[in-house]
Structure 1
């Protein structure tokens, strides 16, 4: 990588122009695309999209990792459209909300997923294209060349759960995503001979950046939808993977598997986000991959990513979040709005060009999270006030203290308690429900549910109804019935009391 960072944002689709023509760029089940193929295929897909949508329209994808889901971020950007990637684990209720909220004009998904949708799930006039039929149409198009779009134009809407209500769409510009790719490629020191295994969902900013930062460096991505952790190990061995990103629950499983010596030896870097690594897990990873550099990271979808810990400090400071990534300004602000003193707790505030443009069509929640930067900010402008409590040591390293809201983070997924609670009440079997996250060694937190049943409640029937409404990662591990749920002095359901009781 170049020794200096270029802070100038570009149109996102220019990432397709970075690699050498004959070098591998994307390994698919049906073959490998080199970087020249990547440019051509992105251009053809962009041309196909311009015949079906107007500038600024939203294009949604709801499919497993494949050529369409990997290329749509750049193809939509080239066509002046806005990509809305939908997590393939989500079910009809969540997908219908995202489609309606975003007002997407086109949905690309496989036939089975399209067949699961009902009347009214899609916005009026939204067209559907089966992934299986897509490329026969795209091949007939002449490719569009690189765009000259304003880097401030909207490029993607990524839906993320909040502590209350339905998922909200985070608006990311071309510049947000371009500079995110530049930043990560630099601090990971990615190179053109690197091979990244893409195991994280492409609907996550962390998962999507696996593509973008690798292509910025001219490297190659191997997207993988794995069923078992052993599939990850096999893919690393088969493809000579040098870069692996995961969340703590997957790392726990991966360190319990016997790795071929060549696969472990070729690994250059490991990156973690979606929850903190325990000291024991850090030691296990260091033992299994002695030549790989380990990068613990902390991020916010609203600002892409905030901090990383220098691998040289992992052994001596295994619980630290590290310091700001390139292009990010991270401040710890006390309750009076001032920079907190060393080792004093405060709110993590992220300023700078990685800050997103707010929440799609949600001015109220945008105003809560996206507020003027603190007085001490060098960037100024709008900052993301995370709600996370952290402290900064005298050496500048940051440490996570806790969340201010009730968000549950399980297996790297952000889960809205209210979304689980709404689904529980919608079954018609319970009158009230409270979802909490309880500490879990493998998941980080496991979803637990307290309910006040209605007459005729049956636990097995209730669980089946939840499974039909929620994706697997949202399903509660435990369900506890109460004749009356505890309330605080204001008459509200007492989430903290329930969490303490259920954890006992």
Structure 2
């Protein structure tokens, strides 16, 4: 098992941890050994370094799980630049916002995606290149970057407004990789199927943690649960990560007994597992250890539950992962007692550097650690309420903000409302998440109008928003309630939805 060394290194040094001739990456194009991975990363980095960018300028990628998408998280930091991965399912308006907000100097994408962009989507000063243009005959050696230097900006939705760019350092990424590789007990013989988007910290860390342990990553863009079953069988996969809606689909799929038995490790984040899902996964995959986890992009990962405790504590999110200090805090800043609800606060070296160019929202979420914390410096005050039991296990109680968590995605109600209102089909709208067995939460929009233009609204949003942001239902009203300040009374609206 990997050693828990608390001293971080530049993230682009990860390929050097693997055995040179062992396979690090397997995809449709074949395989890359760790030696070839290192050379390819160095080649992309050399191309980037030759473009004349200043240190710490941003390189955006808008790609499916191609080799470039897998290697750019290492290549951009090696060249002294900052990687900004854009979720490939986002549409042009969201891509345009991220490019402008991050100040990206180059967008690496594909010809078909370039054709989907419109004039004005790519800001002045940002160049578009296809991934085929990145070839270089020379190789840039591993960097000697300051591990506190910025390495990536991952965009995540906020509870209000547009997505926020979470700033991650080399140390954040390196220590996250070592921590996860250790507590998941990833080994060099493991074959990890990467089905999660690489623009999410959870999906990106699968690359890093697997390579930190010398294992093999098999990236997969899947359309159906059957695609995942086939990949597990074809590649002899031992480890699979998912979010609750994916597990629902996988349990509904047909699994040959021999294929299901190949899986040795299942990891979950992006939403809590229900006891029903836990029972289903334990029955379907009898040889797999199940790791429920809790995290937030601002601090990467906070807790995990030891597989030995899953059956007895199916609703627990576990204890702190290595390198994380997790505290349960009362409103007055003191430590909550066992059994007493409090805010989950994450301190330690996995805490991100704040939100990109957003001092106001950074100050709201990133605040000094409580006085009783062992770790100094800034902590992430999650806004989530948890309870710690007498054995030190944590249970998630609720989310204090209005974020919608659907199909493993954190979705801003304001972003949905802005999209609904932008076409003029409705005058007022409020978006909410309501419980849904398959999605965790489904998006419901309460709108003022008679509903006669719902078909046109749905058609427009299908063009403008990714599938996971599509409202499942519209609740049409002739009037919407208001509070004393004249604003929509969101509390009353949500209560009326049940």
Instruction: Give the corresponding residue for 2:122.
Output: 122
How far 1:457 moved relative to its partner?
4.9
423, 429, 440: which is aligned to 1:433?
429
C-alpha distance in structure 1 between counterparts of 2:308 and 2:490, whole Å: 40
1:210 paired with 2:206, answer yes
Instruction: Give the corresponding residue for 2:495.
Output: 500
Question: Is the Cα contact below 8 Å between 1:23 and 1:34 reproduced in 2?
Answer: yes
Number of residues of Structure 1 aligned to a counterpart in Structure 2: 497
Instruction: Give the corresponding residue for 2:398.
Output: 402
How far 1:75 moved relative to its partner?
0.4
Q: How does 1:16-165 map to 2 (within 5 A)?
A: 16-52=15-51, 53-131=53-131, 133-134=132-133, 137-138=134-135, 140-165=136-161
Q: How does 1:101-500 map to 2 (within 5 A)?
A: 101-131=101-131, 133-134=132-133, 137-138=134-135, 140-453=136-449, 457-500=452-495
How far 1:16 moved relative to its partner?
1.4
How far 1:260 moved relative to its partner?
2.1
C-alpha distance in structure 2 between counterparts of 1:334 and 1:17, whole Å: 44
Question: Is the Cα contact below 8 Å between 1:11 and 1:149 reproduced in 2?
Answer: yes
Q: CA-to-partner distance for each residue in 1:203-233, whole Å, 9 max, x for gaps?
A: 0000000100000000000000000000001
TM-score by length of 1: 0.97
C-alpha distance in structure 2 between counterparts of 1:423 and 1:353, whole Å: 37
How far 1:48 moved relative to its partner?
0.5
C-alpha distance in structure 1 between counterparts of 2:137 and 2:334, whole Å: 56
How far 1:5 moved relative to its partner?
1.0
2:420 is paired with a residue whose SS is: helix
CA-atom RMSD in angstroms:
1.1
C-alpha distance in structure 2 between counterparts of 1:487 and 1:245, whole Å: 43
1:464 is paired with a residue whose SS is: helix
How far 1:359 moved relative to its partner?
0.2
Question: Is the Cα contact below 8 Å between 1:430 and 1:457 reproduced in 2?
Answer: no
Which consecutive unaligned segments of at least 5 residues does structure 2 have? none
Which deviates more from structure 2 when the two are superposed, residues 115-124 or residues 312-321?
115-124
How far 1:55 moved relative to its partner?
1.6
1:6 paired with 2:5, answer yes
Question: Is the Cα contact below 8 Å between 1:16 and 1:74 reproduced in 2?
Answer: no
1:451 is paired with a residue whose SS is: strand
1:322 is paired with a residue whose SS is: strand
C-alpha distance in structure 1 between counterparts of 2:17 and 2:259, whole Å: 27
2:140 is paired with a residue whose SS is: coil
